Amino acid sequence: MGELDGKVALVTGGARGQGAAEAALFAREGARVVITDVLDEAGEQTAGELGCDYRHLDVSSEAEWEAVVADVVARHGRFDILMNNAGIFRPAQLLNTSTELWNQTIAINQTGVFLGMRTAAKAMIAAGNGGSIINTSSIAGLEGGFGAAAYVASKHAVTGMTKTVAKELGKYGIRVNSIHPGAIVTDMIDHMLGGGRDQKMIKRQPIKRLGTPHDIAEMALFLASERSGYCTGQQFTVDGGVHG
């Protein structure tokens, strides 16, 4: 028996990295998983390898969210877990941050999470089974970060939205929590870890290694399952102890 037997889960940004690891673990634990992404070829391949469904989803599009969630409910009859994983990171100091970069970051990282929570919550309430919404924030959603004003703003917003929506949805049996990864080795930050920067990060951590997508997936599984049944509106940091 898996921890998520009978549950239906949607994972955004599931083509690779943390999203793919989360989808794999959810599926292994018995959930029927739908992976979404804008990277259709990679998404289809990952879904095929995991035995999951794949749907194209631009998380900044209200219409696409409505269509994908309606399709999930029509196919599976319920909606239990939303893993809001999709996000982008485009480093730039304030004076070099274009309005285009700002708007794109906010649209995907912040508005995408808002649209996902709103659309999923409606489906969960209609199904009447409660649910778990898990939002990927960042340690950048807890503090400042040099050279990343847009990203930091978006991740602080995710932290705040999570706490607020948890208060609103608790009466429906829907829990809402956020995960705050530190340095996780994924395609998104690979380019940042050269030139010895990875070793500098490791030296200042109590746990002497960088994180992996599986580390985040394990926390996501905890929050998706009944093991976290009395947790909502909380921030769970997974960063090797840097912010302990």
pLDDT tens-digit readout, 31-89: 999 999 999 999 999 999 999 999 999 999 999 999 999 999 999 999 999 999 999 99
Per the CB < 8 A criterion, the answer to whether 148 and 140 are in contact is: yes
Compute the average pLDDT of residues 221-225: 98
Per the CB < 8 A criterion, the answer to whether 78 and 125 are in contact is: no
What is the rounded CA–CA span in Å between residue 116 and residue 49? Answer: 25
Active-site residue, selected from the candidate residues 54, 151, 172, 230:
151
pLDDT at 193 over 60: no
What lies within 8 Å, CB to CB, of 42 at 6+ separation is: 15, 16
Q: Is 173 left (phi over 0), alpha (psi -120 to 50) or beta?
A: left
pLDDT band at 185 (very low <50, low <70, confident <90, very high): confident
Backbone angles phi, psi at 38, to 5 degrees: -105, -10
Active-site residue flag, 151:
yes
Instruction: Give pLDDT tens digits for 80-131.
Output: 999 999 999 999 999 999 999 999 999 999 999 999 999 999 999 999 999 9
What is the reported pLDDT for 188? 60
Identify the CATH class of 8-237: alpha beta
Element spanning 71, H or E: helix 62-76
User: Measured between alpha carbons, how far apart are the two ends of the chain, in Å?
Assistant: 34
Identify the CA nearest to 172 among candidates 207, 223, 212, 121.
121
For residue 214 the two structure tokens come to 């599986």
Domain boundaries, the chain: 8-237
